[in-house]
């Protein structure tokens, strides 16, 4: 796990500046490679092969290729054996050398063999060409920009890339609209017009000023296999067990985050089983605790830890975490409106005092259909069939009268959203549930003449299956997962040089589950397959307990820690500098403060946007 950067128009001083900007990602070593204006920079967090043999940028023995790589290749031992069988000889035990040799022999075709998380840059000195690649699910970030002379620059982080002269750092108004919709900027855009995100599962090639891109993998929830729940569990368990074991391979200690929910509990159980079978020391697990009982899961996490046999540590959430707002914005390099990022930063900071690597349960909801909206989408199919359009329209109008809690309880809000979207097409309905500022709000705030597009609806329409559950999960894997969960996981953990690994995002597992029928995936409710797997590892009281979710008490924060910040920063003048209409924002604040609507996340998103814009003015 590291940070990478580079450019076809650079010098050693610029490369050193890029490395300094991302040193938090790789505090163990920083190095550069430079030749004729082309250069690569690498900040190293040593996890596999801690010796100088794993140092980067790494050149091939023949000298033709140079690689800078961020991430881990979990199946590097297997690939090494395959390459040795065809004559390759290795000088280190690093996965970087295996990756380099694989790409030397197979080019982009070698990507199909990889099991891992990665963002890589491969420079071909003979052809004077650059290959950029991002892993299948988008665990590791990679941003790039065209240069005025036709060159290209790239980096793991936006703030690092901004060191490169000649970039178009103007505001992308379409990206701003999409930020307000999703509370993150969906790839391939960033809020800077000239900086782009490489899409998950994609590659980019640059040569002589020409750029070509392509995809080498994408999830495909097509649900064509009708099998029983027991058969599904029989197929999934060994794949998940393999995913966990591969992600435990490291030359440093590996632990896990444990909330007490089913996702992290299954991972902890499989890790403990693997450790016992190999004779390794017990796994270490970590839970964040809260003073607010509605958000605290310490009792459930303790029960899981005791059952599976981890060495468990409770890490109290520190007071005043909202003070990290400006630091959080700098880590992302653009606005990011999910406040859970602050909790991940706090948890990562505390856990990093104990280890370098932690397995996490992110992706379980997307892969196994665990969100309330997945249930809502299936209910909506029946609702549309059973209730005529005029009655649904009447219900939608009446739904606006449904009261709403501002204390974090979402049942009434979900009922209102379900009924309000009853007459919309399926893609618009799902977008209305997932997006935050709706098109009408964005049109008013941005002063647009027409309604802006809905990025989530666009993805939903492109899904390869007409099944509601297939389309919802496919959309989540391409939007909410990489743009939200994985984005804050990487930015906040790497801010303190902690590596997070994600067993549920093993592409072999996703390929398997995606082919299973929706009726199997939702047999009896959310996460049916994962629960069936869990029953072979954990007692029922752990599996069937209600889910809390890892979310901050935003409603409480806005009334306490953040109240002064809202008053000082969300003003007519400051919003005007952002190009936002004050009338629309004042209405939103009045509704929230009057208790008529829970706009907590929207208010937070505006605070984040203001902090980002203010930061752009600072040197």
Annotated domain spans of the chain: 3-215, 229-369+471-544, 553-618
**258/263 Cα distance (integer angstroms):** 9
Q: What is the pLDDT of residue 594?
A: 82
Bridge partners, 154 (sequence order): 6, 144
**What does the pLDDT average to over 90-95?**
96
Alpha carbon of 536 to those of 273, 309, 526: distances in Å? 12, 16, 18
Q: Collapsing DSSP states into helix, strand and coil, what is residue 426?
A: helix
Q: What is the pLDDT of residue 598?
A: 83
**294/330 Cα distance (integer angstroms):** 30
Give 535: exposed, middle or buried? Use CB within 10 Å, 0-12, 13-18, 19+: middle
Classify the phi-psi angles of 42: left when phi > 0, otherwise alpha if psi is within -120 to 50, otherwise beta: beta
Average pLDDT of every residue of the chain: 92
**515/239 Cα distance (integer angstroms):** 14
Binning pLDDT at 50, 70 and 90, where does residue 480 land?
A: very high
Task: Judge contact between 372 and 525, C-beta under 8 A.
Answer: no
Q: What is the pLDDT of residue 225?
A: 95
**Of all residues in the chain, what percent are helix, strand and coil, respectively (each to 5)?**
45, 15, 35
Classify the phi-psi angles of 447: left when phi > 0, otherwise alpha if psi is within -120 to 50, otherwise beta: left
Binning pLDDT at 50, 70 and 90, where does residue 260 land?
A: confident
**153/611 Cα distance (integer angstroms):** 26
How far, in whole angstroms, is CA 248 from its chain's centroid?
20
Instruction: Give φ, ψ of 424 to 5 degrees.
Output: -85, 155
**91/363 Cα distance (integer angstroms):** 36
Q: Collapsing DSSP states into helix, strand and coil, what is residue 288?
A: strand
Q: What is the pLDDT of residue 473?
A: 98
Classify the phi-psi angles of 52: left when phi > 0, otherwise alpha if psi is within -120 to 50, otherwise beta: alpha
Binning pLDDT at 50, 70 and 90, where does residue 216 land?
A: very high
**113/187 Cα distance (integer angstroms):** 25
Lowest mean pLDDT across 21-30, 234-243, 372-381, 489-498:
372-381
Lowest mean pLDDT across 131-145, 204-218, 514-528, 560-574:
560-574
**What does the pLDDT average to over 470-488?**
97
Q: What is the pLDDT of residue 572?
A: 95
Alpha carbon of 27 to those of 64, 130, 486, 597: distances in Å? 28, 26, 21, 45
CA torsion sign for 109, 110, 116, 119 is: negative
**46/30 Cα distance (integer angstroms):** 11
Residue owning tokens 């029953």: 535
Secondary structure, 3-state, 333-379: CCCCCCCHHHHHHHHHHHHCCCCCEEECCCCHHHHHCCCHHHHHHHH
Q: What is the pLDDT of residue 412?
A: 66
Q: What is the pLDDT of residue 228?
A: 96
**Which residues, at least 6 apart from 358, have a Cβ–Cβ distance to it below 8 Å?**
254, 255, 256, 257, 286, 351, 493, 498, 499, 500, 501
Question: Can you give the C-alpha Rg of the chain in angstroms?
Answer: 24
Same fold, 3-215 and 229-369+471-544: no
Residue 343 has pLDDT above 70, yes or no: yes
**Which residue positions form the known binding site for L-glutamine?**
95
Secondary structure, 3-state, 482-493: HHHHHHHHHHHH
How far, in whole angstroms, is CA 153 from its chain's centroid?
23
pLDDT in tens, 109-157: 999 999 999 999 999 999 999 999 999 999 999 999 999 999 999 999 9
Q: Collapsing DSSP states into helix, strand and coil, what is residue 499?
A: strand
**Which residues, at least 6 apart from 394, have a Cβ–Cβ distance to it below 8 Å?**
none
**134/115 Cα distance (integer angstroms):** 12
Binning pLDDT at 50, 70 and 90, where does residue 603 land?
A: very high
Is 256 noted as a catalytic residue in this protein?
A: no
Residue 547 has pLDDT above 80, yes or no: no
Q: What is the pLDDT of residue 442?
A: 96
- Structure-token pair, residue 154: 């790239």
pLDDT in tens, 397-434: 666 666 665 555 566 677 777 767 667 889 999 999 99
**What does the pLDDT average to over 536-549?**
84
Alpha carbon of 382 to those of 133, 388, 419, 462: distances in Å? 42, 11, 13, 22
Residue 234 has pLDDT above 90, yes or no: yes
Instruction: Select from 6, 54, 60, 9 the least CA-distant residue to 33.
Output: 6
pLDDT in tens, 369-392: 999 999 988 888 777 776 667 766
**9/39 Cα distance (integer angstroms):** 8
**Which residue positions form the known binding site?**
95
Instruction: Give φ, ψ of 192 to 5 degrees.
Output: -90, 130
Which of 3.40.50.620, 1.10.40.30, 3.40.50.150, 3.20.20.370 would CATH assign to domain 229-369+471-544?
A: 3.40.50.620
Q: What is the pLDDT of residue 423?
A: 75
Secondary structure, 3-state, 568-616: HHCCHHHHHHCCCCHHHHHHHHHHHHCCCCCCHHHHHHHHHHHHHHHHH
Q: What is the pLDDT of residue 319?
A: 78
How far, in whole angstroms, is CA 264 from its chain's centroid?
16
pLDDT in tens, 318-335: 877 778 888 889 899 999
Alpha carbon of 33 to those of 30, 156, 364, 470, 505: distances in Å? 11, 17, 39, 45, 32
**Which residues, at least 6 apart from 299, have a Cβ–Cβ distance to it below 8 Å?**
260
Of 2, 182, 256, 512, the active-site residue reads 2
CATH fold for the domain made of 3-215? 3.60.20
**571/475 Cα distance (integer angstroms):** 35
């Amino acid at each position: 796990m590291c940070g990478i950067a580079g450019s076809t128009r650079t010098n050693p001083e610029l490369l050193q500046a890029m490395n300094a900007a991302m040193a938090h990602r790789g505090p163990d070593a920083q190095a550069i490679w430079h030749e004729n204006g082309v250069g690569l920079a690498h900040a190293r967090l040593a996890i596999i092969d801690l010796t100088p043999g794993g140092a980067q940028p790494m050149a091939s023995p023949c000298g033709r290729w140079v690689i800078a790589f961020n991430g881990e290749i979990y199946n590097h031992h297997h690939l090494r054996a395959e390459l040795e069988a065809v004559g390759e000889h290795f000088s280190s035990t690093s996965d970087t050398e295996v990756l380099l040799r694989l790409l030397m022999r197979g080019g982009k075709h070698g990507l199909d063999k990889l099991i891992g998380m990665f963002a890589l840059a491969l420079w071909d000195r003979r052809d004077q060409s650059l290959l950029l690649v991002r892993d299948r699910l988008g665990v590791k970030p990679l941003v790039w920009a065209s240069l005025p002379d036709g060159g290209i620059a790239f980096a793991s982080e936006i703030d690092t890339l901004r060191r490169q002269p000649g970039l178009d750092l103007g505001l992308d108004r379409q990206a701003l609209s999409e930020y307000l919709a999703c509370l993150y900027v969906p790839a391939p855009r960033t809020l800077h017009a000239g900086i782009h995100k490489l899409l998950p599962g994609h590659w980019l090639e640059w040569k002589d000023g020409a750029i070509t891109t392509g995809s080498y993998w994408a999830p495909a929830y097509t649900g064509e296999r009708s099998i029983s729940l027991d058969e599904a569990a029989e197929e999934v368990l060994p794949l998940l067990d393999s995913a966990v074991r591969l992600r435990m391979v490291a030359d440093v200690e590996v632990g896990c985050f444990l909330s007490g929910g089913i996702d992290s509990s299954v991972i902890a159980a499989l890790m403990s089983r693997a450790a016992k079978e190999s004779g390794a020391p017990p796994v270490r697990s970590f839970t964040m605790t809260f003073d607010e009982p509605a958000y605290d899961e310490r009792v459930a996490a303790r029960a899981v830890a005791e059952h599976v046999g981890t060495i468990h540590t409770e890490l109290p959430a520190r007071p005043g975490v909202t003070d990290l707002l400006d630091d959080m914005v700098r880590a992302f390099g653009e606005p990011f409106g999910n406040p859970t990022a602050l909790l991940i930063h706090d948890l990562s900071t505390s856990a990093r005092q104990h280890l370098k690597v932690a397995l996490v349960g992110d992706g379980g909801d997307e892969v196994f259909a665990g969100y309330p909206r997945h249930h809502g989408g299936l209910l909506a199919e029946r609702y549309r069939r059973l209730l005529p359009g005029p009655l649904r329209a009447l219900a939608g109008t009446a739904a606006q009268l449904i009261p709403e809690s501002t204390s974090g309880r979402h049942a009434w809000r979900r009922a209102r959203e379900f009924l309000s979207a009853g007459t919309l097409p399926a893609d618009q309905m799902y977008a209305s549930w997932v997006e935050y500022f709706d098109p009408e709000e964005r049109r008013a705030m941005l002063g647009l003449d027409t309604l802006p597009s809905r990025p989530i609806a666009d993805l939903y329409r492109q899904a390869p299956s007409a099944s509601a559950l297939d389309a919802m999960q496919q959309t989540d894997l391409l939007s909410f997962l990489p743009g939200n969960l994985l984005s804050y996981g990487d930015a906040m953990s790497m801010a303190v040089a902690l590596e997070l690994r994600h067993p549920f995002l093993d592409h072999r597992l996703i390929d398997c589950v995606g082919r299973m029928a929706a009726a199997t995936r939702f047999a009896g409710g959310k996460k049916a397959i994962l629960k069936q797997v869990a029953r072979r590892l954990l007692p029922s009281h752990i599996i069937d307990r209600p889910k809390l979710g890892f979310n901050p008490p935003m409603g409480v924060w806005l009334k306490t820690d953040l109240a002064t910040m809202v008053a000082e920063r969300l003003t007519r003048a400051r919003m005007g500098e952002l190009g936002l209409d004050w009338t629309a924002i004042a209405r939103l604040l009045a509704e929230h403060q009057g208790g008529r609507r829970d706009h907590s996340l929207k208010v937070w998103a505006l605070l984040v946007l203001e902090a980002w814009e203010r930061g752009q003015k600072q040197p």
